[in-house]
Amino acid sequence: MQYYFQMTEYSTTEKMILVQYAIKKYENEETVIEKLKAILSEKDIQRNIDTLIGTQKVRRIGPEILQNNESHTELPDLPDALKPIIEKL
C-alpha cells in the first residue's frame, strides 16, 4: 500500500533527518529515493544523500547500498512531527 503525503516545506535539517531514517529503514538507494519521492523532490533527496556522504554521516557500501555511519556519528533524534512519515514509508 502506497501512502502519499502532502508536499510540505521541510527545513534543511528535517530533509536530512528524513533521508537518514529512510536509509536506516531500506539501505537500497533506489528504494530510498522511491519511498521519499512522495514527500521530497528527487533533487532534494539526491542532494541530501550526497551531503550525508560528504559529511560521513552516511556511507556507500556497494553500488546501490547506503548505510548510516553510526560508528562515526549518531543518528539525530527523530522529531515527533516526522515520526508518522517515517513509520509509513
C-alpha cell, 71: 560508528
Q: Where are the domains of the chain?
A: 12-88
Distance CA 72, CA 40 (A): 26
Distance CA 47, CA 74 (A): 20
Query: Please, what are the averages of pLDDT over each run of 10 residues along the chain (89 residues)?
Result: 59 96 97 96 97 96 94 91 94
What's the pLDDT score for residue 9?
A: 87
What's the pLDDT score for residue 34?
A: 97
Distance CA 72, CA 68 (A): 9
- Do 39 and 15 contact (CB within 8 A), yes or no? no
What's the pLDDT score for residue 7?
A: 54
What's the pLDDT score for residue 77?
A: 94
**Model-level pTM?**
0.87
